[in-house]
């Protein structure tokens, strides 16, 4: 009990310092704070990242960088033009296609979800990380829910969309396999791809949003000496674990009783999303251990190392991808940050 009281006191002190720091940043340090580059450069850089394909998931970084270095009320200088550019780009690419409106909505889903997450996070001034992250992801979740309901209510529309996607996939993948001399079941590959896309689309949006949000907060607080202590103190409400348990139970339930494939995909996606959430808490545990040992590694450096290991080093990446979320889950029960310090 004394350990818990000490931990709560330490976290309360850090939160008060962060609130004070937020107020100072929100006021622009007495009106003297101004971004180095005009907002138009940030919008252009963002649009270029979006158009390059492989960098599209981090296209909000230039926008959040501008917001982090300017007054809060200036965020519309970058978010509104970016919104118009994203919509205009999707209209251009979707124009003339059959079911134009459907393709437009699908093409806008990911970029607008990322844009909404960054904008909503930047306008929130109060609340814990769990609350702020929840509200940041609400537009993406609601859009996916509405799209699912539309498909469920209009089966003909879904069938037309599914068949058009399948025809395009078979045309491209079939030609590719033939050119390589590989015999494969293209229909099975399309079904597998559909499941993968359904499971990982929302978690990918969540993960990309978290990276952008971390970059934004790090830019705002980079000059603060205790910023890494704030990162190390990050934690979610202990009751959040019940969401992971519930989604995992519902997913496993489909292994023992008939369940529509769409529901299995939904529950699996939610499980992966919750694992990603606890990876954030696991990252905080690692940062706390580093700070307790007095090492000079900063939180952005640690994140970069974890990314390199996760994507470029086979074998070790499995340890990171499993170990970091596991640390976050165990922290929920055993207070690993304090135990490691002792």
Query: How high is the pLDDT of residue 32?
Result: 40
pLDDT the model gives residue 169:
81
Q: What is the pLDDT of residue 26?
A: 41
pLDDT value at position 21?
45
Instruction: Count, in order, helices (H) and strands (E) of the chain.
Output: 15, 0
Distance separating the N- and C-terminal Cα atoms of the chain: 16
Spatial distance between the Cα atoms of 254 and 92, rounded to a whole number of angstroms: 41
pLDDT at 43: 93
Token pair 């993960």 is at which residue? Answer: 207
Q: Tell me the per-residue pLDDT of 116-174, one tens digit each, with 9 for 90 and over.
A: 999 999 998 777 888 899 999 999 999 999 988 888 888 888 888 888 888 888 888 77
Measure the CA–CA gap between 300 and 304, rounded to whole angstroms.
6
Please count the CA atoms within 13 angstroms of the CA of 2 that sit on its side-chain side: 0
How far is the C-alpha of 18 from the C-alpha of 224, rounded, in Å? 10
Q: What is the pLDDT of residue 342?
A: 46
Low-confidence residues in the chain, pLDDT < 50: 1-4, 18-34, 342
C-alpha dist (Å) from residue 195 to 110, 190, 192, 264: 17, 9, 5, 10
Averaged pLDDT of the chain: 83
Q: What is the pLDDT of residue 262?
A: 86
Tens-place pLDDT, residues 65-74: 999 888 777 8
Which three-class secondary structure string do you get for 249-278? HHHHHHHHCCCCHHHHHHHHHHHHHHHHHH
- Tell me the C-alpha distance between 25 and 32, whole Å: 11
Q: How far apart are CA 137 and CA 170, in angstroms?
A: 33
Q: What is the pLDDT of residue 317?
A: 81
Query: What is residue 151's predicted lDDT score, i.e. its pLDDT?
Result: 83
Per-residue tokens: 43:
């919008």
Q: What is the DSSP track for 189-252?
A: HHHHHHHHHHHHHHHHHHHHHHHHHHHHHHHHHTT-TTHHHHHHT----GGGHHHHHHHHHHHH
pLDDT the model gives residue 203: 95
Place of tokens 């689309």: 201
Residues 206 and 121 sit within 8 Å (Cβ to Cβ)? no
H, E, C per residue of 96-150:
CCCCHHHHHHHHHHHHHHHHHHHHHHHHCCCCCHHHHHHHHHHHHHHHHHHHHHH
């Amino acid at each position: 009990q004394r350990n818990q009281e000490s931990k709560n006191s330490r976290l309360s002190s850090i939160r008060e310092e962060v609130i004070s720091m937020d107020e100072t940043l929100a006021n622009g340090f007495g009106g003297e704070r101004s971004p180095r580059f005009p907002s138009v450069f940030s919008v252009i850089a963002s649009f270029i990242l979006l158009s390059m394909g492989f960098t599209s998931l981090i296209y909000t970084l230039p926008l959040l960088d501008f917001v982090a270095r300017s007054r809060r009320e200036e965020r519309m200088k970058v978010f509104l033009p970016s919104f118009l550019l994203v919509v205009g780009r999707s209209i251009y690419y979707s124009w003339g296609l059959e079911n134009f409106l459907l393709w437009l909505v699908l093409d806008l889903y990911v970029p607008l979800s990322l844009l909404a997450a960054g904008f909503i996070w930047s306008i929130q001034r109060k609340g814990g990380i769990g609350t702020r992250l929840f509200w940041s992801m609400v537009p993406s979740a609601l859009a996916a829910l509405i799209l699912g309901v539309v498909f469920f209510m209009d089966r003909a529309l879904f069938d037309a969309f599914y068949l058009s996607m399948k025809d395009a996939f078979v045309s491209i993948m079939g030609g590719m396999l033939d050119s390589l001399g590989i015999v494969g079941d293209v229909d099975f590959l399309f079904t597998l791809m559909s499941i993968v896309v359904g499971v990982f689309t929302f978690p990918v949006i969540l993960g990309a949003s978290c990276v952008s949000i971390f970059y934004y907060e790090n830019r705002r607080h980079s000059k603060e000496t205790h910023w890494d202590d704030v990162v190390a103190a990050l934690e979610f409400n202990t009751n959040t674990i019940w969401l992971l348990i519930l989604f995992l139970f519902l997913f496993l339930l489909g292994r023992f009783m008939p369940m529509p494939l769409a529901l299995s995909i939904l529950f699996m996606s939610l499980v992966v999303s919750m694992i990603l959430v606890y990876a954030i808490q696991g990252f905080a545990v690692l940062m706390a251990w580093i700070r307790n040992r007095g090492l000079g590694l900063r939180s952005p450096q640690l994140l970069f190392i974890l990314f390199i290991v996760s994507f470029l080093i086979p074998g070790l990446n499995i340890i990171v991808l499993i170990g970091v979320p596991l640390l976050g889950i165990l922290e929920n029960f055993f207070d690993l940050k304090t135990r490691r310090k002792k």
